[in-house]
């Protein structure tokens, strides 16, 4: 049976949890009010890392791995009903962060990234590019940072960034870094066990 790394049902389960939370930005300082968005990010990041781990162990081909990352991206970026104005803003921000995860994953597998420049320099170049309204270039630099973090490098201390696309993309890369430091069972699981759908 072909392994499913991520399914539409799983994503919709999360969207239902967001809807049930009746999330409001004004209540974001309350305990766990925005936790569901962190859980969603971690869930998708782990699915991507699981794909990469299978590819590294030659359980799936490079083509299959790239296709699986693209499938996860399509599930996440599919249009969905409104979950409320504040929740929709958070989902949009989450999708921006996850865009960095998807492209970083693909760049890591294709080997298409700068391996030499200090990571802090690439982040600074991304910040400068966004300040010049060159969002594509900012995304390009940060996805290279993400590829190297997947490769095992540590994300440098960046300090506080003002709210921006760069900050949102870095949130995704930070989630990759945290997932790799945390539970690494995704690396060993070879996909033979049935993947559960319940959260």
The per-residue pLDDT for range 1-11, each reduced to its tens digit, is: 567 899 999 99
**pLDDT given at position 157:** 84
Q: What is the DSSP letter of 26?
A: G
Distance, CA of 81 to CA of 168 (rounded, Å): 23
Within-domain flag for 65: yes
Within-domain flag for 197: no
Mean pLDDT confidence for 90-119: 95
**The length of the chain, given as a count of residues:** 199
Distance, CA of 180 to CA of 199 (rounded, Å): 21
The per-residue pLDDT for range 116-134, each reduced to its tens digit, is: 999 999 999 999 999 999 9
Residue with the two structure tokens 């921000």: 93
Contact, 77 vs 95, CB < 8 A? Answer: yes
Contact, 37 vs 18, CB < 8 A? Answer: yes
Our count of domains for the chain comes to 1
- Would you say the C-alpha torsion 122, 124, 129, 73 has a positive or negative sign? positive
**pLDDT given at position 29:** 52
**pLDDT given at position 4:** 85
Token readout for 71 is 């499938």
Within-domain flag for 196: no
Element housing 191 (H / E): none
Within-domain flag for 199: no
Q: What angle do CA 121, 125, 126 make, to 5 degrees?
A: 120
pLDDT band at 95 (very low <50, low <70, confident <90, very high): very high
Dmax (CA) of the chain: 49
- Would you say the C-alpha torsion 142, 144, 150, 156 has a positive or negative sign? negative
**pLDDT given at position 28:** 47
**pLDDT given at position 198:** 42
Range of the domain at 60: 8-188
Average pLDDT, the chain: 87
Q: Where are the alpha helices (DSSP H) in the chain?
A: 8-21, 35-56, 62-77, 85-110, 119-131, 135-150, 165-181, 185-188
**pLDDT given at position 30:** 54
What is the pTM (predicted TM-score) of this model?
A: 0.87
Within-domain flag for 34: yes
pLDDT band at 199 (very low <50, low <70, confident <90, very high): very low
What percent of the chain is modeled with pLDDT above 90?
70
**pLDDT given at position 163:** 84
* Range with lowest mean pLDDT among 25-39, 60-74, 86-100, 162-176: 25-39
pLDDT band at 156 (very low <50, low <70, confident <90, very high): confident
The per-residue pLDDT for range 17-64, each reduced to its tens digit, is: 999 888 887 744 555 468 899 999 999 999 999 999 999 999 999 999
């Amino acid at each position: 049976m072909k392994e499913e790394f991520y399914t539409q049902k799983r994503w919709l389960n999360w969207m239902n949890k967001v809807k049930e939370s009746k999330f409001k930005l004004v209540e974001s300082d309350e305990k766990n009010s925005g936790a569901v968005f962190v859980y969603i990010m971690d869930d998708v990041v782990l699915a991507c890392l699981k794909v990469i781990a299978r590819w590294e162990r030659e359980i799936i081909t490079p083509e299959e791995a790239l296709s699986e990352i693209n499938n996860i991206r399509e599930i996440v970026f599919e249009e969905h009903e409104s979950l409320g104005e504040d929740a929709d803003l958070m989902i949009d921000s989450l999708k921006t962060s996850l865009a960095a995860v998807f492209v970083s994953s693909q760049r890591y597998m294709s080997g298409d990234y700068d391996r030499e420049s200090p990571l802090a320099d690439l982040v600074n170049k991304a910040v400068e590019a966004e300040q010049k309204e060159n969002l594509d270039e900012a995304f390009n630099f940060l996805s290279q940072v993400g590829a190297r973090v997947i490769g095992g490098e540590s994300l440098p201390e960046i300090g506080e960034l003002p709210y921006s696309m760069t900050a949102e993309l870095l949130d995704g890369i930070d989630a990759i870094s945290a997932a790799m430091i945390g539970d690494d069972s995704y690396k060993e699981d070879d996909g033979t066990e049935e993947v559960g759908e319940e959260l």
